Structure 1
Amino acid sequence: MKYTSQITIAISQEEVFKKLENIENLPHWQKGLLEITPISGEPGEEGSKMKLQYQIGKQKMEIIQTMMKIDFPNEIQITHDTQDTHNIQKNVLKKTENNQTLWIYENEFKFSSLGLQFLGWIMPSVFKKQTMTNMENFKAFAEKGISIKNNDG
C-alpha cells in the first residue's frame, strides 16, 4: 500500500528539517511513544538504528527505525520494521512562498501477515488518518511549541 500526504508548515525549510530529524522531538508529536533506544550508529545519522516503543490504547508495539538517507534540508528517508510490517517513509521538504515549508510525506507499507494486507486493502484511510494526525501534531509542535507528550492518555 502506497500513499502520499502533505502539509504546509509556517517555518523555514531548514528549521523543519532540524526539528523533524531530532529524535528528542519525537515524543512531542508522535502519540503513544514510550521509549527510544539507540541500537547502532549515531542517532539521527544515515545507517543508524533505534528501537521505538509505542502504546496505542492497550496495544504495545515495538518498531525498529533505520535512517536510510539524510539530505539537509531537502529529504529524510526512514524505514520502520515490525514483526509483520516494513514501512518506507520518504519525507520531502520544499521551500514555499513566505519562507514556509511544504512537507510531502510518502509512505509505502509492505505487510507479511494476511490480516494486515487485508486491512491495508480495505481500510487504507486508517493509515492515512494516522499519518495526517502525526503531521498535524508535528506542525503544532514546530510552529507553536505545542507538545502532545503529556497529553496522549
Structure 2
Amino acid sequence: MKYTLDILIEAPLEVCAKKFSITEYMNHWHRGLVSIEHLSGIPNELGSKMKLHYKIGGLNLNQIETITHKNLPHELHCSYATKDLDHLQDNFFTATSQNQTKWTSVNECVPLNFNMRIKLWLMPKTFKKQSLQAMKDFKNFVENGTSVAHA
C-alpha cells in the first residue's frame, strides 16, 4: 500500500528539519514512544539503526528505524521494520515562504505475512490516519512546543 500525505508547518525550513532529525525530540511527537536504543552506525546519519520501543493501548511494540537517505534540510528517508510490516517513509521538506515549511511524506507499507496483508487491505485508512496524526503532532510540537510525551 502506498500513500502520500503533506502538512504545512508555520516555521522555517531549517527549524523543521532540525527538530525532525534530533532523536531526543522524537518522544514529543511519536505517541507512545517509551525508549530508543541505538543499534549501529553514527546516530542520525545515513545507515544508522535504532530500535524504537512503544507502548500503545497496553501493547508493547518495537520497530527498527534505518536512515536510508539524508539530504537535510530537504530530505530524510527512513525504513521502519517490524515482524509484520516494513514501512518505507520518504520525507521531503520545502520552504513555501520564509516562515513556512511543507512536509510531504511518501509512504509504502509492505506486509510480511498474510495477517498484515489482510489488515492493510481491510483498514488502509487506519494506517494513513496514524501517519497523519504523527504529522499533526510534529506540527504542533514545532509551532507551539506541545509534546505528546505524556499523552
Q: TM-score, normalised by structure 1?
A: 0.96
3-state DSSP of counterpart to 2:150: coil
Structure 2 match to 1:72: 72
1:63 equivalent to 2:63? Answer: yes
Following TM superposition, the consecutive aligned residue runs of length 4 or more in structure 1 with deviations greater than 3 angstroms are none
Amino acid at match of 1:73: P
Give the Cα separation in 2 of the matches to 1:62 and 1:4: 24
Q: CA deviation at 1:98?
A: 4.4
Output one character per residue of 1:107-128: Cα deviation in whole Å (capped at 9) or x when no partner.
Answer: 1010111111111112110001
Offset from partner CA, 1:56-101 (integer Å, 9 cap, x none): 1011111010011110111000000011111110000011034300
List runs of 5+ in structure 2 lacking aligned partners: none
Q: Is 1:138 matched with 2:122?
A: no
Q: Aligned partners of 2:98, 2:78: CA distance in 1, in Å?
A: 28
In 2: Cα distance, 1:72 partner to 1:115 partner: 36
Q: 1:80 and 1:98 mapped to 2: Cα distance?
A: 32
TM-score by length of 2: 0.97
Which residues of 2 match residues 1-153 of structure 1 at below 5 A? 1-151=1-151
Q: Which runs of 5+ in 1 are unaligned?
A: none
Q: RMSD over aligned Cα, in angstroms?
A: 0.8
Alpha-carbon separation, structure 2, partners of 1:114 and 1:64: 21
Q: Percent identity?
A: 38
